[in-house]
Structure 1
Amino acid sequence: MKSYLCKFIPPRADFLATMSADEAGWMQQHGAFLDELLAQGKIVAHGPVMDPAGGYGVSLYQIADDENIEDLTSQDPIIQHGAGHYEHHPMLHLKFRG
């Protein structure tokens, strides 16, 4: 298994406060996408970080060795609509309460 901290960087610092109707819809799809990966066991946890300098999202992934993290995150609807990008940070291991 491989583990990653993935940081979703929105297209602008005030994105959560200034989303258009389209962007709000994409964010709903984004949440549903992450919840599905959570249900599949590929994501251990995810959620928004309310940083005063600009919010962002964090997801902790634990995926099979033959899976590619960039392939997974590229399927996120918010990414497919060109609204932001991901940073992928490999972790040596991921321990969590089950």
Structure 2
Amino acid sequence: MKFYLCKYIPPRADFLASMTGDEREWMRQHGAFLDELLDRGLIVAHGPVMDPGGGYGLSLYRIADDQDIQAITSQDPIVRNGAGHYEHHPMLHLSVHG
């Protein structure tokens, strides 16, 4: 197994407050995409981080050795529509309660 902390970087610091109608729809799809990965066990947790310097999203992934994290996150609707990108940070291990 491989483990990653993935940080979704929005296209601008005030993104949550200034989203267009299209961006709101893409964010809805983004949440559904992450929830599906959570249901499939690829993500163990995800959610928004309310950083005063600019919010971002955070996801913790647990994927098979033969899976590519960039291939997975590139399918996120918010990324596919050009509204931000991901940083991928490998982790040595991931301990999860339950």
Question: Normalising by structure 1, what TM-score?
Answer: 1.00
**Unpaired segments ≥5 residues, structure 1:** none
Whole-angstrom CA distance in 1 between matches of 2:40 and 2:46: 13
- Residue in structure 1 matched with residue 20 of structure 2 by the alignment: 20
RMSD: 0.3
1:37 equivalent to 2:72? Answer: no
1:1-98 matched pairs, under 5 angstroms: 1-98=1-98
Secondary structure of residue in 1 paired with 2:90? strand
What secondary structure does 1:58 align onto? strand
Give structure 2 stretches of 5+ with no counterpart.
none
Q: Residue 92 of structure 1: CA displacement?
A: 0.1
Q: Percent identity?
A: 74
Q: What amino acid sits opposite 1:36 in the alignment? A: E
SS in 2 for 1:3: strand
In the TM superposition, what whole-angstrom CA distance separates every residue of 1:26-68 from its partner, at most 9, and x where no partner exists? 0000000000000000000000000000000000000000000
Moved over 2 A (4+): none
Q: Distance in 2 between matches of 1:42 and 1:22?
A: 27
CA distance in 1, matches of 2:68, 2:20: 31
Q: Provide TM-score, normalisation by structure 2.
A: 1.00
Separation in structure 1 between the aligned mates of residue 85 and residue 79 of structure 2, nearest angstrom? 6
